[in-house]
Amino acid sequence: MAAAGGARNHTPVNPPRLQDVATLAGVSTATVSRALSGKEHVSARARAKVQQAAQELGFVVSYHASSLASGRSRNIGVVLPYVDRWYFSTVLEGVAGALIEAGYDLSLYNFEGDRYRETVLTDFLLRKRLDAAVAVSLHLDPTDTEQLFSAGIPLVGVGGTLVGAPTISIDDLDVGRRATEHLIGLGHRRIAHLGGAEEGKRYFPMSNNRRAGYEQAMARAGLPVQPAWSLIADYTFTDAYHRTKNLLADPIDRPTAIFAASDEMAAGAILAARDLGLTVPGNLSVIGVDAHPIGEAFGLTTIDQHTRQQGVRAVGRLLEHLAGENSEPTNEVLPAHFVVRNSTGPATDPIDT
């Protein structure tokens, strides 16, 4: 007799197993495992059959189980010096999107400048919880990279070269040279540079190389580089604004063009010029680097370094390595493209003529 209230007995339904997917698809369990992991070669026909069977049965891959079987965690570490700056956060966006599409988790390690550098390198990255790591703009000593390799952690760098590891970068020296040559080609002779501090031995020399490119272009054109016009800022809009405003305050001895090593600094320079009553590009031409979204609002001429794509490509190199393909420690240089807007124009200041 049924209990009062009409309660019914429910027979628990067992979740589908790997064997169930194999039976429905007509393939072996090994083929199912390979097809769903996405890491080994399976014919397109077999993969489609397995995916269809898994969908029909509502089969969900247990990554814990597959990790135990494969010895992999399906987790990639990303190491950054900062997360609150546009370049780093945009590279991170590219890495995260590519990892999600590949079915990997992401562990983020933020150095906060140098605060946690040694802790991350000598402890967190060596706990064997990662399949691989992406190091963004970090210059690692050969001992650092060798320690990671010894722990079985492949590494890809973004932003410069690393001993023994593949890297993704742009040619920052060439970028600095091309940006300055653009201004020289417009007739400018009094060109300032707004860059960052020297990175030293802990970070890739992006600022150093872009400044060197500026100096090379000036030297080739026979133009002087005035020390007072080679400004150091912290890559923020606000710092660039104040430093540029001080530079432009002298109506007698001021540049007619500025090459800024980032779009955020270039935008700060444009606002400083406007607040002093100068027109851009009438009185001052400004070019940046990045293709930051802020550039469109300011009509900024820039060089697009395809920042998000750098992160996507870094993941691609790691996945190729994990699959046993393309593990050569080469530096892949991505192209950087001009985006010409209305912040640069011909030199018209009487001082230049």
For the chain, give the number of residues: 353
Is CATH 1.10.760.10 correct for 18-70?
no
Q: Which helix (H) or strand (E) holds 24?
A: helix 18-25
Nearest partner of 164 among 139, 146, 178, judged by Cα: 146
pLDDT of residue 9: 44
Regions of the chain with pLDDT less than 70: 1-14, 37-41, 61-73, 113, 116-117, 122, 128, 199-204, 349-353
The predicted-structure confidence for 247-283, as pLDDT tens digits, reads as follows 999 888 899 999 999 999 999 999 999 999 999 999 9
Determine the Cα–Cα distance for residues 119 and 132; give it in Å rounded to an integer: 18
pLDDT of residue 1: 40
Alpha carbon 135 to its chain centroid, in Å, reads: 10
Determine the Cα–Cα distance for residues 108 and 38; give it in Å rounded to an integer: 23
Determine the Cα–Cα distance for residues 167 and 309; give it in Å rounded to an integer: 13
Determine the Cα–Cα distance for residues 214 and 193; give it in Å rounded to an integer: 7
The predicted-structure confidence for 127-152, as pLDDT tens digits, reads as follows 767 888 999 988 777 877 888 887 78
| Domain extent listing, the chain | 18-70, 75-169+308-322, 172-304+337-352
Amino acid present at 98: A
CB of 126 within 8 A of CB of 155? no
Judge if 18-70 and 75-169+308-322 fold alike in CATH terms.
Answer: no
The predicted-structure confidence for 190-201, as pLDDT tens digits, reads as follows 999 999 887 666
pLDDT of residue 46: 85
CB within 8 Å of 86: residues ≥ 6 apart: 262, 264, 290, 292, 307
Q: How far apart are the first and last CA of the chain?
A: 106
pLDDT of residue 11: 39
Percent above pLDDT 90 for the chain:
50
pLDDT of residue 130: 85
DSSP state of 302: E
Cross-strand bridge partners of residue 337: 304
CATH node for 172-304+337-352: 3.40.50.2300
How many CB atoms within 10 Å of residue 30? 12
pLDDT of residue 10: 43
DSSP strands (E only) in the chain: 75-80, 105-110, 132-136, 155-158, 167-169, 191-195, 230-232, 257-260, 285-289, 301-304, 331-333, 337-339
Name the strands in the sheet holding 75-80, side by side, starting at the edge strand that comes first in the sequence. Answer: 105-110, 75-80, 132-136, 155-158, 167-169, 331-333
pTM above 0.75, yes or no: yes
CATH number assigned to the domain with residue range 75-169+308-322, chosen from the 4 options 3.30.70.1560, 3.40.50.2300, 2.60.40.420, 1.10.540.10: 3.40.50.2300
